[in-house]
Structure 1
Amino acid sequence: MTGLLGLVAALALSIEKAEKLLDPQQALGCDLSVLVQCSANLDSAQGAAFGFPNPFLGLMGYAVVVTVGVVIMATTGLARWFWMSFSLGLTFALGFVVWLIGQSVFVLGTLCPWCLLVWVVTIPLWVFTVGRCLRTGVFGTRAARFGKALWPWLTLVTLFAYVTVAVVAQLRLDVIGSLL
């Protein structure tokens, strides 16, 4: 489900970016206020961190996640090397999302609704995939003991990450005050 939601968000952002390129003066559908908008994020240098619009990276990455989900449902198991590689890719994705959160909150001073959806799905995707890899011994037997102990707490870890992002955004941007 996280892959599908991420793919929807990346597609929406890609469409918004294409519309913005066609008509730079056009207000986007996700521009709700000075605080909640896509334009500032899409038009910034941070919106094309690798030289092309970030949503294009999301289209590729979340398509992989959806494909992996389908493969998991269709097979009995995947090789250890695959899970290690997938975890590494998701670690890059989480690191990139954390950087984007920082850029959005501290530099751009905006919250993009579609970006928020990307953040919301990437965090548990990483937490539960890496947690599963730890628990099943992909990273070794010591890691498996740690993963088994950590597994019941992963929902709480995810909620803690969400609360941390919300508190940082509130302290920096006064999100609640802007709604009143």
Structure 2
Amino acid sequence: MSDTVTPRRPVVVAIWLVLAGIVGWWAAFSLTMERFAQLKNPGEAASCDFSVLVQCSANLQSPQGSVFGFPNPIIGLTAWMAPVVVGMALLAGARFARWFWALFWLGFAFAITFVIWLISQSIFVLATLCPWCMVTWSVVIPSFFVVTLHVLREGVIPAPRVRHVAERLMPWVPLMTLAAFVVIAVIAQARLNVLAQF
């Protein structure tokens, strides 16, 4: 029996991966350019600094902005190419082995974990909302849902009941994503009183 999955071409998943990868890469690129500008002109406000609450500078210059010893956006510049490549390959009819999908999912599991941590740091420690960071959050969250449900419904984990549930949940990804956004917004409002800033 073949070890590959995805006997049907998941066009919607593929298109989403390409679009999410492009948006995520653009956010990472924009943040990287902002960081370069800060290094070139120390003390100068970033173009995405709109207020004390909504800004990029505090995030980029903080220890949380360079968790691994280099600016976090560099991770995005490399990592967001993977969904684009995988999405384009799926559109071209490629089929991937189970181990590939497992590793691909692990990448998004790391991404969502990292994003959740960054959200908590941004809201509870830095007390800022970075515009380009929020763009990244907005594509990581639904992408994690999409990839998780896709690998489950395609049998990467051999569990028939799970496949059926994942298949039925896939159309609900937009609502799941909206729910996640609402939770983040409520937490941000409760902690930072965002509405009072406008």
Normalized against structure 2, the TM-score is what? 0.87
Determine which structure has the larger helix proportion and give its number: 1
Q: How many residues align?
A: 179
Distance 2:193 2:47 in 1: 23
Displacement of 1:152? 3.2
Larger relative contact order, structure 1 or 2 (CA cutoff 8 Å, min sep 6): 2
Gaps of 5+ in 2: 1-18
- Give runs of ≥4 in structure 1 deviating > 3 Å: none
SS at match of 2:48: coil
Q: 2:102 aligns with which of 71, 79, 84?
A: 84
Distance in 1 between the 2:179 and 2:166 partners? 18
Match 1:67 to one of 57, 80, 85: 85
CA offsets, 1:123-142, max 9 Å, x none? 00110111111111112224
In 2, the alpha carbon distance for the partners of 1:28 and 1:171 equals 26
Aligned counterpart in structure 1 of residue 64 of structure 2, from 46, 51, 61: 46
Computed over aligned residues only, the root mean square deviation of the Cα atoms, in angstroms, reads 1.1
Once the two structures are TM-superposed, the CA of residue 95 in structure 1 deviates from its matched residue by 0.3
1:146-175 CA distances to partner (integer Å, 9 max, x unpaired)?
312322322221111111111111111111
* C-alpha distance in 2 between matches for 1:159 and 1:18: 33
Paired residue secondary structure (2:81): helix
Provide the rounded CA distance (Å) in 2 between the counterparts of 1:76 and 1:114.
32
The offset of 1:176, in angstroms, is 1.0
Alpha-carbon distance in structure 2 between the residues aligned to 1:40 and 1:147: 39
Which of 111, 126, 132 in structure 2 is aligned with 1:93?
Answer: 111
**Matches of 2:100 and 2:52, distance apart in 1:** 43
Unaligned runs of 5+ in 1: none
Aligned to 2:13: none
Instruction: Give TM-score, length-normalised by structure 1.
Output: 0.95
Q: State the distance in 2 between where 1:96 and 1:76 align.
A: 29
After superposition, give the CA deviation of every residue in 1:50-96 in whole Å (9 maximum; x if it has no partner).
Answer: 11100000101111121111111112421111111100000000000
